[in-house]
Amino acid sequence: MIRFALRGLLGRKLRTALTAIGVVLGVALVSGTFVLTDSISSAFDSIFTENYKNTDAAITGKAAFELSGDSAGTAPPFDQGLLAKVAELPEVGAAGGAVGGQAQLIGRDGKAVAFGGAPNLGFSVDPARPEFNTLTLVKGAWPTAGQVVIDTKTAEAKKFATGDTIGVQARGAVQRMQISGLVEFGAVSSIGGATLAGFDLPTAQQLFDKPGKLDQILLAAKDGVSTQQLVDAVQKILPAGTQVRSADDQAAEDAKGTSSFLTFFRTFLLVFGGIALFVGSFVIANSLSITIAQRTREFATLRTLGASRRQVLNSVVLEALLTGLVSAVAGLFLGLGIATGLFKIFDAAGLTLPNNGLVFRTRTVVVALAVGVVVTLLASLRPAWRATRVPPIAAVREGATLPPGRLHRFRPLGAALLAVAGVALVVSGLFVDGLSTGSLLSLLAIGVLLIFIGIALFSARLVRPLAAASDPVARWSVLVLSIVAWPLFSLPYWLLRRGFWGSGSTASRVGGLLLGAVLNPVLLVIVALMAVRRAVSSWQPEWPAEFPGVLSDRPAVGIGGQNSRRDPHRTASTAAALMIGLALVTLVATLGAGIIKPFEDAVDKIFSGDYAITAQNNFSPLPPTVAAAVAKVPGVDALSSVRGGQGRAFGETIQITGVDKQAPDVLRFDWKSGSQATLGELGADGAVVDADYADKHGLAVGSALPLETVAGKTLPLQVRGIFKPPAGGSPFGSVTISTSAFDATNPQPLDLYTFVSLRGGVTAANTAALQQALSTFPNAKALTREQFKKVQSDSIKSLLNVLYVLLALSVLVSLFGIVNTLVLTVFERTRELGMLRAIGLTRRQVKRMIRHESVITALIGAVIGILLGLGLALLLAARLDEISFAVPTGQLLLFAVVSVVVGIFAAIWPARRAARLDPLEALQYE
């Protein structure tokens, strides 16, 4: 039986390969994701391990409570006196203290050196303790007071050498420093795009505004002292606000942030792999159904020769298994390519990821193979079961078809029920309160899955009316697209082919060739390759090619339209694959539009000043020195920064923000209790809280709100005002206090934003004045409200673009699905095509006919998909305040056009195959 299955597959190589493409791409994305994230994670691990080489234990500052995530808020540094005390312990062999922080290197152009979103790391280096030093000196010398060592990559990219001066900016304004040497990070070949800057300890303390403080003490145990003994001994003398961990624990702690990000990143990419596989499973199920219908006679013959139903089932399932296995293996290796490609793409996009070589884990292999095989098997079950229903007598019946399944009659009802159940799941996921994120997401995912399957099954019912409605749309859109493409593709293609091997005078051919090459140089390459192939093999291109026309061909298009209505189930399943991709793309586009609008409204509501100061990358917090510099600009009427950090109240860690006295003049709140004035009068113990938080904890104006801060002090706050944040979000945390209270209790405070009003509002002079003030802070920029809205919504848009790219994979899979169905259909209608050709249909008409069928199928998928996507977006928007429901008409139109293009592209190859059929052979074909 294995041999039959294999033979069957080999006999239908092409069809099998087309069937499998969905699985190959899906598995590739899955395995690529694993390889990528494993590689990044192993590179990070080696960075963190490198940090603690020769170290047995590390002392660090300790926040009063567990900080959440990696957002604003860091552990406070501690007094450097601890170093001497620890060094005296008998268990300690060596001890070295260090400080670190963000340190921008400033290029000659005055701009901060940054490679993508990678951090700019600065730290103290102690040449006297080389065992703790993670930097390797490549050239020059270690830094002395006022000097810096920088990484070789920055030096190379920005053309710096030892002895040059370079700008360095940490918490203060830019300082010019001499480069004493070039360094690399330990043994790690690339630590992503991070820039490195090393200073001696006093310089670093000054730069990072940590005078007399340390962030970390690295310890090596004396010989014969175990790590545990060392940790225990140190523990006894540690002051409050510090902690000691073994080197391994500390490395793991450091890795927490990146590993939680990587886990998110991995899940995120896997979701898209899953979607591609889901679409792929539709393609497989559909192709298998068609192939099995075409093989009815074969199965029946096998039955007459004594094959049991089980044997038929096994042979089909076995074929699916083999297909799944082969495609999974192909996908696995393609995944390696994808991972390499993604590294390159991120690199090109400026987001250099740490890379220490690709990591190919056994887990990747196992998961990728299992996923590929299981998806294929599941998709094959129904077609396989149908194959067992083929009666032996079908062997002698001319044109025997698969008998309809027993449950055939209940199919529309069952499909509708599935879709309704899916909607019910989604609705309950969205509107039932108190679900955990996990169960919410799985409810949504399963719900959407059921909706897709239900609609895909049900849509066979919709095919006839939809196909009839799409028919003129397809006709017209193809006409328009043909006219658009005519001068760029059709005409040059014809000219080039005529130039290479057509008829006509040499002069006119050469002229045409030149014109064609100018119109589309890419085609020149393609046609030249065709010419080479023609010269070296017996291959003949189709020639003479007719002069390219654009007008649609009534009779051909008429037959094509009818063909699309001929087998509604087939058309529906083919369209369903595209429907899924388009529904998701529509969902993303609609939600994107729905997010940006409320966000812009929120900016308009809150931001009453003239300018906002943000980091160049629009999101990194800035040191308060930036705001201080801006405050000195002549003409500043009012300025308030928004400090961001974390605190702890009522037993939970919350985001807190701090605002200046002048805040009422640059920020506007929607007050439930309190007023604008409140914002400026918070003093040492006043707080404004957001309405949800107030409701949750029963707070009213006058309520006591004890807030524990990172440094361990508790602020006895009193609620002075309650505000309603706008639907589109606000930069404010649950609790907002005054800047002075914030700075008194938060070491190393940072500003999320700074808002300013200037006399005269937004003017060129004011903008110039701000820019002048910021010239010593190359990492900061001043934006008007409109610019601020634009850069913020642009970042949302670029996130949307990432989603589109990932969803494009599913659309690509569905394109192959259409190709596959068309090829199978052409194969099945060989006789019919021969007959049509024999009674006078030209090759071009055959192509037009098939293209029309393809475009109609694509349009059906597009219409259902777009409507479905809008429906899902409506549900989400109804639930989430942050999102309004806005139909992005332009984008949806674009998606519809893309679908038509998908239909046209999908038809190219099957149409060529159909047109190549020799009418005589086609008629003889048995």
Partner 1 sequence: MVGNTDGQASVVVATGLERTYGEGDTAVHALRGVSVQVAAGQLTAVMGPSGSGKSTLMHILAGLDKPTSGSVLIAGTEITTLGDDALTKLRREHIGFIFQFFNLLPMLTARENVVLPLTIAGEKPDPAYFDELIARVGLTDRLTHRPAELSGGQQQRVAIARALVSRPTVIFADEPTGNLDSRTSNEILHLMRSSVDDYGQTTVMVTHDARAAAMADRVLFLADGEIVKETGRTSQGEILQIIDSLDLQ
At closest approach, how far in Å is the CB of 6 from partner 1? 9
Angle at 847 between CA 843 and CA 853, to 5 degrees: 145
Among 25, 307, 872, 873, binds partner 1 (CB under 8 A): 307
Instruction: Tell me which amino acid residue 899 is.
Output: S
Please list, residue by residue across 440-451, b when 16 or more beta carbons sit within 10 angstroms of its beta carbon and e when fewer do. Answer: eeebbeebbbbb
Burial 671-694 (b: 16+ CB within 10 A, else e): bbbbeeebbbebeebbbbbbbebb
State the nearest-atom distance from the C-beta of 906 to partner 1, in Å: 27
Candidate segments 9-17, 114-122, 317-325, 466-474, binder of partner 1 by CB under 8 A = 9-17
Binder to partner 1 among 109, 223, 546, 926 (CB under 8 A)?
A: 926
CB of 326 to partner 1, least distance (A): 17
Question: Secondary structure of 780-814 in the HEC alphabet?
Answer: EEEEEHHHHHHHHHHHHHHHHHHHHHHHHHHHHHH
* Options 309, 382, 697, 843; binder of partner 1; rule CB under 8 A: 309
Region of residue 683 (phi > 0: left; psi between -120 and 50: alpha; otherwise: beta): left
* Span from 76-84, 296-304, 436-444, 839-847 in contact with partner 1 (CB under 8 A): 296-304
For 59, the enclosing helix (H) or strand (E) is: strand 57-61
Shortest Cβ 318–partner 1 spacing (Å)? 14
Complex with partner 1: residue 397 or 533, whichever CB lies closer? 397
When the beta carbons of 297 and 464 are compared against partner 1, the nearer one is: 297
Residue pair 671/664 in contact by the 8 Å Cβ criterion: no
Q: What own/partner pairs with CB < 8 Å and gap ≥ 24 does 87-90 have?
A: 89/233, 89/234, 89/237, 90/222, 90/233
Q: Which stretch binds partner 1 (CB under 8 A): 6-14, 401-409, 632-640, 833-841?
A: 6-14
Q: Which stretch binds partner 1 (CB under 8 A): 178-186, 250-258, 293-301, 468-476?
A: 293-301
Q: What is the rounded CA–CA span in Å between residue 630 and residue 610? A: 13
For residue 822 the two structure tokens come to 């068309």
Is 612 a binder of partner 1 (CB under 8 A)? no
* 240-279 footprint of partner 1 as x/- string (CB under 8 A): ----------------------------------------
Strand order in the sheet with 57-61: 92-98, 216-221, 57-61, 242-246
Residue 10 interacting with partner 1 (CB under 8 A)? yes
Nearer Cβ to partner 1, position 342 or 400? 400
At closest approach, how far in Å is the CB of 9 from partner 1?
9
Closer by beta carbon to partner 1, 246 or else 296: 296
- Is 7 one of the binding residues for partner 1 (CB under 8 A)? yes
Element (H, E) at 687: strand 686-690
8: contact with partner 1 by CB under 8 A: yes
Q: Which is nearer to partner 1, 298 or 828 (CB)?
A: 298
Chain residues 337-396 in contact with partner 1, contact rule CB under 8 A: 391-393, 395-396
Pick one of 15, 171, 245, 303: the residue that binds partner 1 (CB under 8 A). Answer: 303
Q: Which listed range, 10-18, 247-255, 486-494, 524-532, lies at the site for partner 1 (CB under 8 A)?
A: 10-18
Closer to partner 1 by CB, 290 or 688: give it. 290
Site membership for partner 1, residue 311 (CB under 8 A): yes
Q: Does 298 bind partner 1 (CB under 8 A)?
A: yes
Provide φ and ψ at 475, rounded to 5°. Answer: -60, -50
Chosen residue from 90, 224, 306, 399 binding partner 1 by CB under 8 A: 306
**How many whole angstroms separate alpha carbon 177 and alpha carbon 181?**
12
Which of residues 396 and 480 has its CB atom nearest to partner 1 in the complex? 396
For 504: left if phi > 0, alpha if psi spans -120 to 50, otherwise beta; the answer is left
Say whether residue 14 binds partner 1 (CB under 8 A). no
Q: How many CB atoms lie within 10 A of CB 837?
A: 21
**Using rule CB under 8 A, residue 301 touches partner 1:** yes
308 binds partner 1 (CB under 8 A): yes
DSSP element (H, E) containing 642: strand 636-649
629 with 775: CB under 8 angstroms? Answer: no
Query: Could you tell me the two tokens for 715?
Result: 């602020």
- Write down the least CB distance from residue 305 to partner 1, Å: 5
Half-sphere exposure of 186 (CA within 13 A, CB side): 20
What does the block give as tokens for 837? 């050709």
Nearer to partner 1 (CB atom), residue 12 or residue 847: 12
> CB-wise, 297 or 912, nearer to partner 1?
297
- The count of residues interacting with partner 1 (CB under 8 A) is 24
Q: How far is the CB of 823 from partner 1 (least distance, A)?
A: 17
Q: Shortest Cβ distance from residue 13 to partner 1 (Å)?
A: 11
Please identify, using beta-carbon distances, which residue of 11 and 702 lies nearer to partner 1.
11
Judged by CB under 8 A, the residue of 85, 139, 297, 913 near partner 1 is 297
Count CA atoms closer than 13 A to 656's CA, side-chain side: 32
Q: Could you tell me the two tokens for 678?
A: 């409140």
Query: What residues have CB less than 8 Å from 625, skipping those under 6 apart?
Result: 171, 172, 173, 777
Question: Whole-number minimum distance, CB 833 to partner 1, in Å?
Answer: 19
Nearer to partner 1, 391 or 414 (CB): 391
Applying the rule CB under 8 A, the residues between 386 and 445 that interact with partner 1 are: 391-393, 395-396
Q: For residues 716-735, which are near partner 1 according to CB under 8 A?
A: none
Is 304 a residue that touches partner 1 (CB under 8 A)? yes
**What b/e string do you get for 474-483 counting C-beta neighbours within 10 Å, with b at 16 or more?**
bbebbeebbe
Taking the least distance from each CB to partner 1, the nearer of 393 and 802 is 393
305 binds partner 1 (CB under 8 A): yes
- Of residues 397 and 879, the one with the C-beta less far from partner 1: 397
Question: Can you list the positions of beta strands (E) in 349-503?
Answer: none
Nearer to partner 1, 11 or 651 (CB): 11
Q: How far is the CB of 118 from partner 1 (least distance, A)?
A: 56
Phi, psi of 638 (to 5 degrees): -150, 150
Least Cβ distance, residue 276 to partner 1 (angstroms): 30
Q: How far apart are CA 817 and CA 575, in angstroms?
A: 9
Stretch that binds partner 1, among 8-16, 182-190, 768-776, 802-810 (CB under 8 A): 8-16
Give dist(CA 39, CA 32) in Å, integer: 10
Q: Which is nearer to partner 1, 295 or 829 (CB)?
A: 295
Rule CB under 8 A: say whether 106 interacts with partner 1. no
Amino acid making up residue 17: A
Beta carbon nearer to partner 1, 302 or 517: 302
What distances in angstroms separate CA 255 from CA 132, 248, 260, one per listed residue?
19, 11, 8
Q: For the chain, first and last CA: distance in Å?
A: 25
Give 66 or 398: the residue with its C-beta nearer to partner 1.
398
Q: Does 302 bind partner 1 (CB under 8 A)?
A: yes
Instruction: Enumerate residues 6+ apart whose C-beta is below 8 A from 574.
Output: 286, 817, 818, 821, 857, 861
Long-range contacts of range 627-630, CB-CB < 8 Å, 24 or more positions apart?
A: 627/751, 627/754, 629/173, 629/773, 629/774, 629/776, 629/777, 630/754, 630/756, 630/770, 630/773, 630/774, 630/782
Residues 917 and 833: beta-carbon distance below 8 Å: yes
Q: Of 400 and 446, which CB lies nearer to partner 1 in the complex structure?
A: 400
Q: Under the rule (CB under 8 A), what is the footprint of partner 1?
A: 4, 7-8, 10-12, 297-298, 301-309, 311, 391-393, 395-396, 926
